[in-house]
A and B are shown apart, each in its own frame.
Chain A
Amino acid sequence: EAQVTQNPRYLITVTGKKLTVTCSQNMNHEYMSWYRQDPGLGLRQIYYSMNVEVTDKGDVPEGYKVSRKEKRNFPLILESPSPNQTSLYFCASSRTGGFQPQHFGDGTRLSIL
């Protein structure tokens, strides 16, 4: 089954403790992206990757890092999480970035205390 898998689905942690949210897709997609969803703000793009070793900033990249060492994986790293990063996070992928609709994972709810 074609899917985008995120882990963990839920995480409660404390300020400053480094964390990684993993994202994996099994569709051989070139393009992957991370979003955060906050009430009243919709989804905002954090980072995206056009292919292996190629990443770029979205609209809200501050406080986040990403890497794309393999085509299928695109982890989101919070080196020093802060409470304003409490949010619902989604990973998405598409065959290529240009004009291709994205497939989304089921989300990761992060709470930073």
Chain B
Amino acid sequence: GQQLNQSPQSMFIQEGEDVSMNCTSSSIFNTWLWYKQEPGEGPVLLIALYKAGELTSNGRLTAQFGITRKDSFLNISASIPSDVGIYFCAGQAGTYKYIFGTGTRLKVLA
């Protein structure tokens, strides 16, 4: 089945650093979503993007819907230890079908 290419696969960063990750697809999406998953839990929505070029922030998180509609970016500023987790992008192609990225595993060193 179709999947989104998400990079990097994993990151080790120092507390206070900024983080960038992205998601690319060969197909166009109408919606991009970013989720965070912590151990033992299901993914939790961070940011939803509905329009090409849209830039949306949620606290220290900022995400953008690429102009081509084939990519999206997530930035985390001034990382803290509780940012640890797996970050997933997800795209919605049709009205009901969701495609998820392979995830970026983030570890923050205090």
Chain A residues with CB under 8 Å of chain B are: 4, 31, 33, 35, 40-45, 48, 50, 56, 58-60, 90, 92, 97-99, 101-107
Considering only CB atoms, which chain A residue lies closest to B98 in the complex? A45
User: In the complex, what distance in Å separates the CA atom of A21 from the CA atom of B9?
Assistant: 30
Assuming the contacts A41-B102, A42-B6, A42-B102, asked whether A56 and B96 have C-beta atoms less than 8 A apart, the reply is: yes
Task: Tally chain B residues at the interface, Cβ within 8 Å.
Answer: 29
User: In the complex, what distance in Å separates the CA atom of A58 from the CA atom of B97?
Assistant: 7
Q: List 11 A-B contacts (CB under 8 A).
A: A33-B98, A40-B102, A42-B88, A43-B43, A44-B100, A45-B98, A48-B98, A97-B96, A102-B98, A104-B42, A105-B42
Q: Would you give the 0/1 interface string for B58-86, flagging 1 where the beta carbon is closer than 8 Å to chain A?
A: 00000000000000000000000000000
Q: Are B96 and A48 in contact (CB under 8 A)?
A: yes
Q: Are B50 and A99 in contact (CB under 8 A)?
A: yes
Other contacts beyond A42-B3, A48-B96, A102-B98: 8, CB < 8 A? A43-B90, A45-B97, A48-B97, A48-B98, A59-B99, A60-B1, A99-B92, A107-B42
* Residue in contact with A59 in the complex, picked from B2, B31, B40, B41, CB distance below 8 Å: B2
Q: Are B96 and A50 in contact (CB under 8 A)?
A: yes
Residues of B close to A48: CB separation below 8 A? 96-98
Residues of A close to B35: CB separation below 8 A? 104
Q: Are B50 and A4 in contact (CB under 8 A)?
A: no
A49 nearest CB across to chain B (Å): 9
Assuming the contacts A40-B102, A42-B88, A99-B50, asked whether A106 and B40 have C-beta atoms less than 8 A apart, the reply is: yes
Considering only CB atoms, which chain A residue lies closest to B48 in the complex? A101
Q: Would you give the 0/1 interface string for B11-33, flagging 1 where the beta carbon is closer than 8 Å to chain A?
A: 00000000000000000001101
Residues of A close to B44: CB separation below 8 A? 104
Q: Which 6 interchain pairs have the tightest Cβ spacing? A: A59-B1, A104-B42, A97-B96, A43-B100, A42-B102, A101-B45
